[in-house]
């Protein structure tokens, strides 16, 4: 039987990451071919190496998963997320579960889930000045001096709304349980193809989050912004925004391939990590 080819990523700043990586490498030596250990040798994470891998094993928290997934979006490499962070919503496996379930998660293709991601560009005077991808969300935040900003939003060239608010969140289904959820947006099943638009503290009683078709092209034109109004992708990649810019957000041609934990569902994770649908505390 052919051994799975693995590439390892991780966050060295995580307290237990180095220990977890070293323990896994020792465990996997006879069971897999580790073609690159980017935790120990970051310079080996080239595109050619990525395309050779069957799986990327990522040790860290959700932030580590997000940054790695953006790097892997062009390579179609499934991500096995190992939680050595705090919450671990995307990092679905503990270090112990990774070893216990290793044979199954590297052979059972039904555990691989394809999730959509977003492409975001900023154009100014007809030319592109910024572009990147987002796994969770594209967020426009008001920034200092923290006055409300005014944004004109169009979908497929049709005017959607004028948004006077503290900003706006454009979320994927994967990101629906992140900032979008905290801002009052809906929870979407992670395998859906859809885009969520959620205003941040809108100056309106009736501007509620909406869900649009994943193939829609969304444009946001800043009408009034602050000195430090910023667009943030996954809370990790950012760029200043100015009046006259045009933000275009649409489905990216690549995907985020995630290996799901076979011993728990998305809904188990929601309940276990975020206390979703928890019952009231009845008196006995």
Residue 151 has pLDDT above 90, yes or no: yes
The answer to whether residue 180 sits within a structural domain is yes
Burial of 259 by CB count in 10 Å (0-12 exposed, 13-18 middle, 19+ buried)?
buried
Residue 70 has pLDDT above 70, yes or no: yes
Alpha-carbon gap, residue 251 to 118, rounded angstroms: 5
**Active-site pick, 11, 62, 137, 166:** 62
Number of domains in the chain: 2
Same-domain pairing of 100 and 127: no
Same-domain pairing of 100 and 126: no
Reading the block at residue 139, the tokens are 């967020």
Residue 46 has pLDDT above 70, yes or no: no
Residue 47 has pLDDT above 80, yes or no: no
CATH of the domain at 188: 2.60.200.30
Which comes out higher in pLDDT, residue 281 or 107? 107
Label residue 270 by pLDDT band (50, 70, 90): confident
Whole-structure pTM value: 0.92
**According to the per-residue pLDDT averaged within each range, which of 35-39, 81-85, 89-93, 231-235 is highest?**
231-235
Same-domain pairing of 92 and 135: no
- 120 touches 140 (CB < 8 A): no
> What pLDDT shows up at residue 40?
65
**Cross-strand bridge partners of residue 57:** 8, 80
Bridge-based pairing of strands 237-240 and 149-155 is: unpaired
Among 2-11, 30-39, 43-52, 250-259, which is the least confidently predicted range?
43-52
pLDDT per residue as tens digits for the range 247-261:
999 999 999 999 999
Q: Is 62 a catalytic residue?
A: yes
pLDDT per residue as tens digits for the range 188-220:
999 999 999 999 999 998 899 999 999 999 999
Expressed as residue numbers, the domain containing 217 is 117-253
DSSP single-letter state for residue 145: T
The answer to whether residue 260 sits within a structural domain is no
> What pLDDT shows up at residue 149?
97
Same-domain pairing of 214 and 94: no
Residue 86 has pLDDT above 80, yes or no: no
CATH of the domain at 68: 3.40.50.10330
Which comes out higher in pLDDT, residue 71 or 169? 169
The answer to whether residue 201 sits within a structural domain is yes
> What pLDDT shows up at residue 41?
62
> What pLDDT shows up at residue 266?
86
Residue 71 has pLDDT above 60, yes or no: yes
């Amino acid at each position: 039987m052919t051994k799975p080819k693995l590439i390892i990523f991780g966050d060295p700043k995580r307290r237990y990451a180095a220990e977890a990586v070293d323990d896994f490498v020792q465990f996997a030596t006879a069971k897999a071919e580790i073609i690159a250990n980017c935790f120990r040798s970051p310079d080996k994470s080239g595109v050619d190496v990525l395309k050779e891998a069957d799986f990327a094993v990522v040790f860290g928290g959700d932030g580590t998963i997000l940054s790695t997934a953006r790097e892997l979006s062009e390579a179609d490499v499934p991500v096995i997320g190992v939680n050595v962070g705090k919450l671990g919503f995307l990092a679905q496996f503990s270090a112990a579960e990774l070893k216990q379930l290793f044979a199954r998660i590297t052979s059972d293709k039904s555990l691989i889930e394809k999730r959509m991601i977003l492409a975001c560009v900023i154009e100014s005077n007809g030319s592109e000045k910024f572009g990147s991808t987002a796994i969770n969300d594209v967020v426009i935040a008001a920034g200092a001096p923290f006055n409300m900003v005014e944004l004109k939003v169009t979908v497929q060239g049709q005017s959607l709304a004028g948004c006077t608010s503290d900003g706006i969140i454009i979320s994927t289904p994967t990101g629906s349980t992140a900032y979008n959820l905290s801002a009052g947006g809906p929870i979407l099943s992670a395998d859906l193809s859809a885009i969520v638009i959620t205003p941040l503290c809108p100056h309106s009683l009736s501007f509620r989050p909406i869900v649009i078709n994943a193939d829609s092209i969304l444009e946001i034109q800043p009408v009034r912004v602050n000195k430090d109004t910023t667009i943030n992708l996954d809370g990790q990649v950012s760029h200043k925004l100015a009046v006259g810019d045009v933000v275009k957000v649409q489905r990216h041609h690549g995907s985020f391939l995630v290996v799901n934990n076979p011993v728990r569902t998305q809904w188990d994770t929601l309940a276990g990590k975020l206390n979703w649908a928890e019952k009231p505390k009845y008196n006995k």
